[in-house]
Amino acid sequence: MVDIKKPVDQLIDSANEVQAAVSMNVALFTMPELTFASIASVVAAGAMIIGGVFPFIPQYRDIYRSQNADGFSLYVCLNLLIANILRILFGKHFELPLLAQSVIMTFTMMALVHLCVTVKHKTEIIRSRQHQFSDLDIEHFWQWTDFGSYVQFTAAFTVLMGLLTYLFLGNWVFIETIGFLAVFAEAMLGAPQFYRNFQNKSTQGMSKKMVGMWTMGDVFKTCYFVIREAPPQFWICGSLQVMIDISIFIQVFVYRRNFVPHAAIS
């Protein structure tokens, strides 16, 4: 007599194994449970990615509408380009939102530089002497008269730092230095604008909305670093940014009655 119990038991066991495998795969593709903390984390990450660009929209619009870029310091763009390129090349792992923010900010700064160079060309009554990156003239560094020179410098800086990072990737001192320089350069974002205002004894041509958004963004970013328990240099440099932002607002109050004619702004 044929014993069919054993094959039936084997078939049931196989079916149970298949069911378990299917259940495991379904669990892998199941949406994670939405909690307030997870939603807040996603919102914070999104704000980190695109939030840094928004402060420059009012400044871009002001320059475009007034066709006057004299009140804005291009060294602000230089600071952010250096900071974000170094962050992209940073050899140690860091959060994806910061990487995405750096890529977007790099292109944003180049767009703002392009606008400033174009506006200065249009408003020149007497054609000044042309200065280019290829001249290697330190005196006119970052004061070039064509946009291509800014692109060349950015590309050369990226290639040079990328090569150095590749060569010294295993050197923790070099990597930590690159990381510190990235956050410190960003922390000094407002310093060129502060100096520009001090030179002109006026904040004319500088977007107050831009500085206001800088301040809100820097406060948010510093709190984000503290909550995420980022390395100390991140929140220390973030605090420095906030102090510089407040100093610029003090300039707005001190120079509120000063009006500098367009031709007098250097």
Each residue's pLDDT tens digit, 53-78: 888 999 999 999 998 888 899 999 99
Select from 147, 73, 63, 75 the least CA-distant residue to 110.
147
The residue assigned the tokens 């006057």 is 68
Contact criterion met (CB below 8 Å) for 93 and 148: no
**What sign has the CA pseudo-torsion 180, 183, 186, 188?**
negative
For residue range 27-45, what is the model confidence (pLDDT) as tens digits?
444 445 667 666 766 776 6
74 within 8 A of 22, measured Cβ to Cβ: no
Digit-coded pLDDT (tens) for 121-179: 887 766 677 889 988 888 889 999 899 999 999 999 999 999 998 898 888 888 888 87
pTM over 0.85: no
